[in-house]
Amino acid sequence: MKKTTLIGFTLLLFSILSCGVPQAEYDKLKKENENLKKDLADCELTPSQLFDQANSYYDEANYTRSRERFQKLIAKYANSNEGKQGRKLLKEVENKLLETARANRNKTEDKNEGKDDSSQAKEEIENTDTNNKAITKMKVKYDINDDVTWYSDPSSATTNTTSYIQTYIGQREKKPWMGLSINYFSKKKWLHLERIEITVDGETFEIEEESPGEFKAANISDGKREWIDRIVKKEDLRLTEKIAASKTAKIKYVGEDDVYTKTVSKTEKKAIKNVLDAFEALGGNTD
C-alpha cells in the first residue's frame, strides 16, 4: 500500500518537473514524498532495529527521540522481547527528560518562569506515562499482510461461541480507528437478527443495519452465530462510553423469530473502558 503510494508520488514529481509547475507546489510534494519514504522505512523496521535506534538516541542524550522510538517499539511490537525491555527503559528516558527540565529551570534567571516550565514538562511526562500505561494494557497483534496493528483488551473473547459485546482498535500508519463487535451464539436456534437494543441505566439505544447485510450469520462449532462488527462513529462512541461507566447495561437481540437478552458483565465494561483509554492515548477520534 505504502509502496504503491510512494511510486505514485514519485511519478507525480517527474510529471510536475516536466510541466513547469510553480516551485512552491513542487517543494510541497517533494516534502510529502520524503515523509512517505520515512514512514515506509519505519514500517519495515524490526523490533531489534527500533530498540537499537532508541538506545542510540539515549546514548546521544536525545531523550525526546529516544522516547519516540521506544513508544513506537512498544505500540508495534509489545509482546516481543525488545518491546518488554522497552517498557522498562522508557521509564528511564522519561526520568532523564524530567532531569533535563529541572536542569534548565535552574539555569533560568526568572525563577517563576522556570518553575512553570518544569511543571509543564512534568505534566507532559505524566500524561505520556498515563498514555503508555493505557496502551501497554492492550493485547497487540500486527497483521503484516494488511499492515495493521490490532489492539484489544486481554479479557476480550477469543472465540465466537459466546454472546458478547467488545471493542478493539485498528491502526494503519498513524490514525487509529475503533471497532464495535456484538455477537450472539446459540446451539439451539436462529434469531434471524433484525436489530439490537442496548439499555444503559434506563436509556435505550438501537443498533440497526446501516447497509443491507451488516448483520451477518454463520454456522460454527455446531451452533448458530449472528453478529455485527463495524467502525465506531460518534453515536457508537457515546454508547460505548455510557456502557463502560454504567451500573447496569443489557443487550436485547431482537430477531424475526425470537428475542434474547444478556446483561453486560463487569469484565466487558472494564474491557471497553480500557480500549477507550488506549484509543485516546493513540490519538484516536471519530471525526
Q: How distant, in Å, are the alpha carbons of 16, 36, 253 from that of 258?
A: 62, 52, 8
Between 118 and 240, where is the model more confident? 240
CB 190 within 8 A of CB 224: yes
The pTM (predicted TM-score) of the whole model is 0.61
CATH number reported for the structural domain that contains residue 269 in this entry: 2.60.40
Between 106 and 285, where is the model more confident? 285
Nearest-angstrom CA–CA distance, 123 and 47: 29
* Three cell numbers written together for 108: 533560568
Between 80 and 198, where is the model more confident? 198
For the segment 183-209, the average pLDDT, to the nearest whole number, is 95
Between 33 and 173, where is the model more confident? 173
Between 119 and 240, where is the model more confident? 240
On the question of pLDDT at 165 being above 90, the answer is yes
| Residue 11 belongs to a domain | yes
| Residue 147 belongs to a domain | no
Range in 114-118, 235-239, 259-263, 283-287 the model is least confident about:
114-118
Please report, rounded to a whole number, the percentage of residues in the chain having pLDDT higher than 70.
Answer: 73
For the segment 53-60, the average pLDDT, to the nearest whole number, is 87
Question: 125 and 159 share a domain?
Answer: no
Range in 43-47, 119-123, 214-218 the model is least confident about:
119-123
Q: How many domains is the chain built from?
A: 2
On the question of pLDDT at 173 being above 60, the answer is yes
| Residue 148 belongs to a domain | no
Question: 16 and 124 share a domain?
Answer: yes
Say what the pLDDT of residue 75 is: 84
Question: 71 and 164 share a domain?
Answer: no
| Residue 81 belongs to a domain | yes
On the question of pLDDT at 168 being above 50, the answer is yes
- The CA-to-CA distance between both ends of the chain, in Å, stands at 23
Question: 135 and 161 share a domain?
Answer: no
Most distant pair of Cα atoms in the chain: their distance: 77
Mean pLDDT, the chain, rounded, equals 81
Q: Phi first, then psi: what are they for 177, rounded to 5°?
A: -135, 160
Question: 271 and 182 share a domain?
Answer: yes
Say what the pLDDT of residue 109 is: 45
For the segment 197-208, the average pLDDT, to the nearest whole number, is 96
| Residue 26 belongs to a domain | yes
On the question of pLDDT at 177 being above 60, the answer is yes
- Helices 47-59 and 63-76: angle between axes, nearest 10 degrees: 160
| Residue 170 belongs to a domain | yes
Question: 29 and 134 share a domain?
Answer: yes
> 124: closest CA among 146, 97, 144, 99?
97
Question: 130 and 186 share a domain?
Answer: no
Question: 46 and 132 share a domain?
Answer: yes
Question: 180 and 110 share a domain?
Answer: no
Question: 44 and 110 share a domain?
Answer: yes
* Three cell numbers written together for 36: 512517505
Question: 113 and 164 share a domain?
Answer: no
> 256: closest CA among 206, 208, 191?
191
Confidence of residue 2 (pLDDT cuts 50, 70, 90): very low
Residue 80: domain span: 2-140
